[in-house]
């Protein structure tokens, strides 16, 4: 048996501040779980890709905050964003069954879940047949 440690890739995006304090921005500081993760995000960059390793723990929570820096100093942190990894996915949408009696078959169709709120992609679907 092989042990698998779930890992999720997450892209954080933001808008540049409207007011830069009349000085050019020098960087952004990204804070992850109360630790400054990186402070060299270039001022022209408005996204950061992070990996979350859950360690197999269901419901792992990660809290992100971001602040801007210019030559005068740094702003306060943004409101925190909490990401919960390892929760049960939403049910598939638009589940349909089309019967073809002349061919002794049925076709199943559905749309992938559409409202994944801070949840990793669904890995598989299970279809059950009730007698």
Put simply, whether the predicted model's pTM sits higher than 0.85 gets the answer no
Percent pLDDT > 70 in the chain is: 76
Please classify residue 18 by burial: count the beta carbons closer than 10 Å to its beta carbon, then call 0-12 exposed, 13-18 middle and 19+ buried.
exposed
Domains of the chain: 7-85 (2.60.40.10), 88-131 (no CATH)
39-51 residue pLDDT tens? 678 888 899 888 8
């Amino acid at each position: 048996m092989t042990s698998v440690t779930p890992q999720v890739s997450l892209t954080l995006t933001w808008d540049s501040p409207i007011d830069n304090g009349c000085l050019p921005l020098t960087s952004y500081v990204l804070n992850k779980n109360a630790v400054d993760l990186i402070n060299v995000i270039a001022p022209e960059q408005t996204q950061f890709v992070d990996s979350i390793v859950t360690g197999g723990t269901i419901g792992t929570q990660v809290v992100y905050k971001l602040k801007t820096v210019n030559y005068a100093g740094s702003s306060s942190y943004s409101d925190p964003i909490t990401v919960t990894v390892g929760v049960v996915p939403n049910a598939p949408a638009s589940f349909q069954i089309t019967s073809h009696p002349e061919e002794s078959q049925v076709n199943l169709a559905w749309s992938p879940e559409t409202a994944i709120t801070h949840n990793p992609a669904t890995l598989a679907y299970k279809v059950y047949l009730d007698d």
